[in-house]
Amino acid sequence: MRILGVDPGSESTGYGLIDSDGSEHRVILYGAIKTPANHPFYNRLLNIYNGLAELLDREPADVIAVEEVFYAANVQSALKLGHARGVVLLVAAQRRLPLYEYSPLEIKRGIVGYGRAEKAQVQGMVAFVLHMPEVPTPDDAADALAVAVCHAHRMRAGVPVPARRSHRRRRAVVDRGIS
């Protein structure tokens, strides 16, 4: 299975594509889509979209795994991060690719076994698990590879977490006649 892990950001969106059978993982490619800070925000989102679309045209994936929004220094940062995540969701929907979302805690637990692991621990374990001679750079790419490996481990364990879990709750409420 080919898993595209994405670490969304408006300045730099990391990506990491791996091939995995659930226990053995192989890196196909990784990197980051950088957006110029002096460009209008909507153009930066377009750059992220085009970068992901071109990547998937070159190297198809079976699923996309993305990091959930967890914290932002301020409301503006949270909104920008949400917009960048929306671009990833759009790419997945347009290509009809299953999408899975993981919190930073789930990713750390899935890679290191401890949800409060330091960034360096996670990056070191990513390099180890993927048989890489050194920690992948930039950091956004290493984080994206961690998301992909986390998903591979979840699939192996038989506990994938479908994206948009909240939809199930909303449907249940609607089914009871509450709008």
Segments making up each domain of the chain, as ranges: 2-175
What is each CA distance from 72 to 26, 66, 76, 77, 153, in whole angstroms? 32, 17, 8, 6, 27
DSSP strands (E only) in 35-172: 63-67, 99-102
Paired residues of 99 in beta bridges: 64
What is the pLDDT averaged over residues 107-118?
Answer: 87
- Torsion angles phi and psi, residue 177, rounded to 5: 90, 10
2-7/12-20 β-pairing:
antiparallel
For 44-97, the pLDDT digits (tens) are: 999 999 999 999 999 999 999 999 876 656 788 888 889 999 999 999 999 999
pLDDT at 160: 55
CB-CB contact of 83 with 10 (8 Å)? yes
CATH match for 2-175 among 2.60.120.1130, 3.40.50.300, 3.30.420.10, 3.30.930.10: 3.30.420.10
pLDDT at 170: 32
Distance in angstroms (rounded) separating the CA atoms of residues 175 and 162: 20
pLDDT at 71: 63
pLDDT at 69: 75
pLDDT beyond 70 at 2:
yes
Distance in angstroms (rounded) separating the CA atoms of residues 23 and 172: 36
Supply the DSSP symbol for 13.
E
**What pTM value is reported for the model?**
0.86
Annotated catalytic residues are: 7, 67, 140
**Window from 93-107, 140-154, 158-172 with minimum mean pLDDT:** 158-172
pLDDT at 166: 35
Distance in angstroms (rounded) separating the CA atoms of residues 142 and 91: 21
